[in-house]
Amino acid sequence: MTQSIIINGKKHAIDVDGNMPLLWFLRDQLELTGTKFGCGSGLCGACTVHVNGQAIRSCITPVSTLVGKKITTIEGLSEKGDHPLQRAWLNNNVPQCGYCQAGQIMNAASLLSVNAAPSSEEIDTAMQGNICRCGTYQRIKKAIVEAADTLSKEV
Partner 1 sequence: MTISNVSRRDFLKTAGLATSGLVISVALPMNALAEKGIMKESAEEINAFIQIADNGDTVIYCGRCEMGQGISTALPSAVADEMEADWQRVTVKQGDADEKYGPQATGGSASIRVMFQPMREAGATAKAMLIAAAAKVWKTSPDNCFAQAHFVINKTNQQKLGYGELASIAANMPVPEKPTLKKKADFKYIGTALSRHDQDEVVVGKRIYGVDTKLPGLKYAAIIHCPVLGGALKSLDKTAALKMKGVSDVVEIPRFAIPFGSIGGVAVVADNSWTAQQAVKQLKIEWSLGENAIYDTKEYKQQLVKNVEKPATLASERGDIEKAFSTAKHKMSATYTGGHLSHAPMEPNASVVWVQKDSCEVWASTQSPADIQKVLGQYLERDPKDIIVHVAMAGGAFGRKFKCDYVHEAAVISQKTGSPIQLTWTREEDMRTGYYHSINAQHIEASMDENGNVTGWLHRAAFPSISTLFDPSLVRTPANSLDDITNHLFGVENCRVESGDAKAHTRIGWYRAVYAIFYGFAFSTFADELAYKAGKDSLSFVNQLLDNNKNKEQTAQVKRAKDILAIAANKSGWKNRDKLPEGQGIGLAVHYSFQSFVAMAVHVEVNGDDIKVLNVDCAIDCGQVLNLDGATAQMEGAVVMGMSLALSTEITFRGGAVVNSNFHDYPVMRITDMPNVRVHMPDSDESPTGLGEPGVAPFAPALSNAVFAASGKRYRDLPFKPMSV
Interaction site with ligand FES (CB under 6 A) = 37-40, 42-47, 57, 59, 95-101, 132-134, 136
Nearer of residues 113 and 124 to partner 1, judged by Cβ: 124
The minimum distance between CB 55 and ligand FES, in angstroms, equals: 11
Residues whose CB falls within 8 Å of the CB of residue 66, separated by 6 or more in sequence, listed in order: 5, 22, 51
The minimum distance between CB 1 and partner 1, in angstroms, equals: 20
DSSP annotation of 29 reads I
The minimum distance between CB 132 and ligand FES, in angstroms, equals: 3
Nearer of residues 62 and 152 to ligand FES, judged by Cβ: 62
Residues whose CB falls within 8 Å of the CB of residue 97, separated by 6 or more in sequence, listed in order: 134
Binds 69, which of partner 1, ligand FES, none (CB < 5 to 8 A, cut-off by type)? none
SS3 (DSSP) at 13: strand
Q: Which amino acid is at 8?
A: N
The minimum distance between CB 154 and ligand FES, in angstroms, equals: 27
Residue 24, Cβ neighbours under 10 Å: how many? Answer: 18
- Chain mean position to CA 80: 16
Q: Which amino acid is at 68?
A: G
Nearer of residues 51 and 102 to partner 1, judged by Cβ: 102
Residues contributing to the site for partner 1 (CB under 8 A): 16-17, 20-21, 24, 27-29, 31, 33-41, 43-44, 46, 73-75, 77, 81, 86, 89-90, 93-102, 105, 123-125, 127-128, 130-141
Pairing of strands 70-72, 48-51: antiparallel
Binds 57, which of partner 1, ligand FES, none (CB < 5 to 8 A, cut-off by type)? ligand FES
Residues whose CB falls within 8 Å of the CB of residue 77, separated by 6 or more in sequence, listed in order: 83, 85, 86, 105, 106, 109
Q: Which amino acid is at 57?
A: R
